[in-house]
């Protein structure tokens, strides 16, 4: 049996898979077992911000693995690798976020943030937004997408409430004195790259302060340069000061790592035993993240993402004019971009056409295709992707 047959026979499949077995990657490209090359405009759900097998990442893994991978009693012992990452993050995080804890995934970071918000405030209700995505754990699933999603798996959590993303009046109505926290993405990723007004996040923060609720900002997909600044909340007007900021994906360029940061006021309410974990910033993960974040800084990749994002959005707007009726909308910030097509069926058709021509894209709910390339994307790679997209949309039948 080949790779695909083995996985189909022995693995649990929770999603529709593409019939492609990826063996290796370099930069913006990956190769399957047959040696066929594909241009990756998914970045592994926005994770491989420096592309595949970046030399700084492989060097960091090699050097740290020769020392130690996992500390004994990891949360109970200190780590020079962790201390180094904490130091570099301190200069990047919003000034009021004083303390950081590391996790293994974005869902785990969000889960901890929700748990701590309830513990600290003594309240239960969490307000989220329709179309949001914060993870697949019990806590995070309960605040993702909407009730039609959560009630497939969970008891009805009547305290939680969903409001339309970008609707300040709806948020003001939902957040009350029983609300522990609002959890929100600066830009909805899984929801279809939905971008609110620049003032939206600051309005939500003000509502939280007025009602005594905490503000949890989920930057798992938008953080670390993806939208043109280190964190998307930096683009809010006026500035936003969250109580808890969650991070993941691009933080370690493909190595499983995440984190959440809190204010000193929140940290003062945290007690020993409130949270923990097996890895909690293990030396290998922290060494990789330090290498990635250092590269983001040294190469000024957030600025690069902003410039390339403008070019990409402009070219996508041209495609919209070329394919009227098939492309409904073009959205994006930095190198987190989306094409909203006429139907989910058209999305699947375009995705298949792109795959046949050597381009990997991310089909998303609500008739959207997400484009999430490496922050080191080159001009020639951008042009190649646009050519394939144009042909794939043109070849797609119907709308």
Q: Pick from 298, 329, 362: which residue ends a domain? A: 298
For residue 48, pLDDT over 60 is answered with: yes
Q: What is the mean pLDDT of residues 276-292?
A: 96
Check whether 398 has a pLDDT greater than 70. no
CB of 277 within 8 A of CB of 263? no
Query: Is residue 83 located within the same domain as residue 218?
Result: yes
Which pLDDT score is estimated for 138?
Answer: 87
Residue-level pLDDT at 17: 87
Number of compact structural domains in the chain: 2
Residue 399 has pLDDT above 60, yes or no: no
What average pLDDT is seen over the chain? 96
Q: Which of 240, 271, 298 is the last residue of a domain?
A: 298
The answer to whether residues 267 and 167 belong to one domain is yes
Over residues 220-246, mean pLDDT: 97
292 and 191, same structural domain?
yes
How far apart CA 148 and CA 138 sit, in angstroms, is 15
CB 257 within 8 A of CB 245: no
249 and 338 within one domain: no
Q: Quick one: tokens of 226?
A: 């993806």
Q: Is 40 noted as a catalytic residue in this protein?
A: no
- Residue corresponding to tokens 């909690």: 280
pLDDT of residue 217: 98
Q: Which domain holds residue 233?
A: 57-298
Parallel, antiparallel, or unpaired: how do β-strands 362-364 and 161-163 relate? unpaired
Q: What is the pLDDT of residue 392?
A: 98
Please report which residue ranges of the chain form alpha helices under DSSP H.
3-10, 43-46, 55-65, 80-90, 106-121, 138-141, 147-150, 168-174, 200-211, 264-267, 283-298, 301-322, 344-356, 379-395
Q: Is the Cβ–Cβ distance between 259 and 100 less than 8 Å?
A: yes
148 and 259 part of one domain: yes
Catalytic residue among 40, 224, 243, 249: 249
**Hey, is 303 helix, strand or coil?**
helix
Q: What is the pLDDT of residues 293-352, one digit of tens each?
A: 999 999 999 999 999 999 999 999 999 999 999 999 999 999 999 999 999 999 999 999
Give the integer Cα–Cα distance in Å for 366 and 206: 30
Please identify, among 240, 275, 298, the residue that sits at the C-terminal boundary of a domain. 298
Say whether 329 is catalytic.
no
Q: Give the active site residue among 125, 218, 224, 326.
A: 218
pTM of the model: 0.96
272 catalytic, yes or no?
no
Measure CA 345 to chain center.
25
Residues 47 and 64 in one domain: no
pLDDT at 251 over 70: yes
According to the model, what pLDDT value does residue 14 have?
87
CATH code, domain carrying 61: 3.40.640.10
Query: Which is the catalytic residue, given 102, 133, 162, 224?
Result: 133
Instruction: Report how far apart, in Å, the C-alpha atoms of 81 and of each of 61, 190, 276, 349 are.
Output: 12, 32, 18, 46
């Amino acid at each position: 049996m080949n790779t695909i047959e083995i996985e189909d026979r022995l693995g649990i499949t929770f999603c529709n898979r593409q019939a492609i077995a990826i063996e290796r990657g370099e930069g913006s490209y990956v190769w399957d077992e047959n040696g066929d090359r594909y241009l990756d405009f998914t970045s592994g759900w926005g994770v491989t911000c420096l592309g595949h097998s970046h030399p700084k990442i492989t060097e960091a893994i090699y050097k740290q693995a020769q020392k130690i991978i996992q500390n004994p009693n990891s949360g109970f012992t200190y780590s020079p690798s962790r201390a180094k990452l904490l130091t570099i993050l301190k200069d990047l995080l919003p000034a009021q976020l004083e303390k950081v804890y590391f996790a293994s995934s974005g869902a785990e970071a969000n889960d901890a943030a929700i748990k701590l918000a309830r513990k600290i405030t003594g309240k239960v209700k969490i307000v989220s937004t329709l179309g949001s995505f914060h993870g697949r754990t019990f806590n995070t699933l309960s605040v993702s997408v909407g009730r039609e999603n959560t009630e497939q798996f969970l008891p009805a959590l009547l305290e939680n409430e969903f409001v339309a993303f970008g609707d300040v009046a709806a948020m003001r109505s939902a957040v009350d004195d029983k609300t522990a926290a609002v959890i929100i993405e600066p830009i909805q990723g899984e929801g279809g790259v939905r971008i609110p007004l620049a003032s939206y996040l600051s309005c939500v923060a003000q509502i939280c302060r007025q009602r005594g609720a905490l503000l949890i900002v989920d930057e798992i997909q938008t953080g670390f340069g993806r939208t043109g600044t280190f964190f998307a909340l930096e683009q809010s007007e006026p500035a936003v000061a969250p109580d808890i900021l969650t991070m993941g994906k691009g933080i370690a360029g493909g190595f499983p790592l995440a984190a959440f940061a809190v204010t000193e006021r929140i940290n003062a309410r945290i007690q020993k035993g409130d949270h923990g974990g097996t890895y909690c910033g293990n030396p290998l993960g922290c060494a990789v993240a330090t290498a990635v974040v250092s590269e983001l800084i040294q190469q000024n990749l957030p600025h690069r993402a902003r410039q390339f994002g403008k070019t990409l959005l402009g070219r996508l707007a041209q495609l919209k004019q070329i394919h009227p009726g098939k492309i409904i909308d073009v959205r994006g910030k930095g190198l987190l971009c989306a094409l909203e097509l006429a139907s989910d069926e058209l999305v699947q058709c375009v995705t298949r056409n792109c795959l046949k021509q050597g381009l990997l894209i991310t089909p998303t709910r609500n008739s959207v295709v997400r484009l999430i390339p490496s922050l080191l994307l080159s001009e020639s790679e951008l042009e190649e992707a646009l050519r394939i997209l144009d042909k794939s949309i043109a070849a797609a039948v119907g709308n």
